[in-house]
Amino acid sequence: MGLLEGIDGPADVKAIPAERLDDLAAEIRAFLVDSVSRTGGHLGPNLGVVELTIALHRVFDSPRDAIVLDTGHQSYVHKLLTGRRDFSKLKKQGGLSGYPSRAESVHDVVESSHASTSLSWAEGIAKARVLSGQGDRHTVAVIGDGALTGGMAWEALNNIAVDKDLPLVIVVNDNERSYAPTIGGLADHLAALRTTRTYERMLDWGKDTLQHTPVVGQAMFETLHGVKKGLKDIVAPQGMFEDLGLKYVGPVDGHDIPAVEQALTRARDFGGPVLVHVITQKGRGYQPALEDLADHMHGIGKINPETGLPFEVSGRIWTDEFADEMVRIGKERPDVVAITAAMLIPVGLDKFAAAYPERVFDVGIAEQHAITMAAGLSFGGMHPIVAIYSTFLNRAFDQLLMEAALHKQGITLVLDRAGITGSDGPSHNGMWDMAIASIVPGLRLAAPRDGEQVVRQVREALDVDDAPTVVRFPKGDVAEPLTAVAQRGGLDILRDTPDAPDVLLVGVGAMCATALGVAEKLAAQGITSRVVDPRWVLPISSALVDEARTAGQVVVIEDGLVTNGVGQALSFALRESTVRTPLRTFGVPQEFLQHASRGQVLDAIGLTPDVIATKLIADLL
């Protein structure tokens, strides 16, 4: 039996002889490559934290000591060492979550996979334990160098540093590329810290190899020492953390288990907050991941484990439409600039960056800064496009409201992975964006129904220079073009009827295809319908109100929250215009949706043509 098969919890990890730990690390890597290549998931980050996670569970006593992982995509090794070895349904319905999950284990503390939150969580946990007389319990926050670019992490550090007795250990997992290569002043600072290891080794070499030639050896030693001291005086790398009041330990080779254990033990026994700087290699032990400069191995689908290549080449996705159009726009409009929050490639800005590198700004994991910076760029005469995942707009609502909308700045937010994303779980579904946007004065929101509309509506958004605009589209393969049979008042009519329809079906974005499916099923029962795509769904247009005025019933189908979504906005607009046509909305319920495929989630919440049509027919017949 292998070592991994005998691990049911942290106590088993502690019991493994030190000389067998490298064997355990090798087993874990082999398991990860084999399992994740079958299911898909976050491979590169987990290959990089194998030894670090082993050391954490040997030094600390989870769950008595809380281990908070930031972000949770590095949790696979932690799951294995806490007894969860069935990865056969990873990220699938009924299987393990791709992130920490309280429902799975008492060892999982924080479920959200949004970055930069671990230090605030950890400070709160540690303070609570001290206040309740449990100061002998430790709290550990493991934060990547990329997540450390987030402003919330520094807000927490500012407070942690003043509590000299707090039993809190901060582990900075520094692999230079938490998602993509980490950039900015912090990245430069960590690079300087990594550089100091070279001079430590030079100094050791001077001691060890020249000791038998005293004159030359001493001279060389003094020279090396002077170089090292001079460089440290110049960059003072650990000074930034120590000046804040944090004890700094490192840098430590994150793949040397004894070294990591020693550093963590020192930190645990210090008696106050300590930052341990651990250097790891993303994708360690798997050559395709090590050679993956584009970070395709960060999160993968099913791949051939021998080559690292996908078994199936994916088709054209929604993001591709935006990516190609951005290059064309860049050539035509020198005022268009782009901002990304540490996700240049996933949001499709890599092609634009290659063509116009001086017009792309990667701000790190800092969505609040991204939107406020965009407002400033707009004021300065540019039209910025902020491209982020829909779920991450949640983090920057105040900036959207108070910095962009209040100041009437012409910025465009392009929200990838809007609606139901599925397998990444509750924190990654893009189901809140329309509800958030609906209460922002002056904001206009477009929901393209297909790739052609992505191209058109991004360009339309760029023509708005006195208010923020939002263009949202889902994850996955782009929808087939849906041709309008007529256009009225800015609305695209996708299916029409010569007389007043029994049902006016309003499709929002990708839900237009669902609305057409519902219309077919209604027609089979003799119920007439008209299907419209408002295109710009917020604010509600007067043309859409007019269409509702003559219909027997209005049905809105949207892949955002029913609460405060497009349907609710239309309901309010109808009441304001004294239109008494009854309205019904089908959308996402106000609850956190557990991981499953997108289709399974849509089916579970009743957002499919069969379910919607069945309910409408029951009401109408």
Q: What residues form the annotated binding site?
A: 73, 113-115, 145-147, 175, 286, 367
DSSP letter (8 states) at residue 357: G
Going by C-alpha positions, the residue among 81, 85, 76 that lies closest to residue 63 is 81
**Greatest distance between any 2 Cα atoms in the chain:** 103
Report the side by side order of strands in the sheet with 383-389: 360-362, 336-340, 383-389, 412-416, 469-472, 444-446, 536-538
Interstrand relation of 139-144 and 168-174 (parallel, antiparallel or unpaired): parallel
Q: For residues 79 and 13, what is the distance between their CA atoms, to the nearest angstrom?
A: 12
Helices (H), 393-541: 397-398, 433-437, 451-462, 511-523
Q: For residues 39 and 372, what is the distance between their CA atoms, to the nearest angstrom?
A: 39
Residue of 27, 261, 321, 367 with catalytic role: 367
Contacts of 582 (CB under 8 A, 6+ apart): 553, 554
The 3 state secondary structure assigned to 13-29 is: HHHCCHHHHHHHHHHHH
Contacts of 241 (CB under 8 A, 6+ apart): 248, 275
Assess whether 584 carries a catalytic annotation: no
Residues belonging to the binding site for Mg(2+) are 145, 175
Helices (H), 132-256: 151-160, 185-209, 214-235, 239-244
Calculate the CA 348 to chain-centre distance.
15
Q: Which two tokens stand for residue 338?
A: 């782009």
Residue of 282, 417, 449, 472 with catalytic role: 282
315 burial via Cβ count (<10 Å: 0-12, 13-18, 19+): exposed
Asked if residue 121 lies in contact with residue 65, where contact means CB atoms within 8 angstroms, the answer is no
Assess whether 321 carries a catalytic annotation: no
Assess whether 123 carries a catalytic annotation: no
Q: For residues 107 and 412, what is the distance between their CA atoms, to the nearest angstrom?
A: 41
Q: For residues 321 and 523, what is the distance between their CA atoms, to the nearest angstrom?
A: 33
Going by C-alpha positions, the residue among 360, 318, 355 that lies closest to residue 336 is 360
Cβ neighbours of 148 (radius 10 Å): 27
Residue of 58, 92, 247, 395 with catalytic role: 395
- CA 14, 17, 22, 27 torsion-angle sign: negative
Query: Which residues are known to be catalytic?
Result: 282, 367, 395
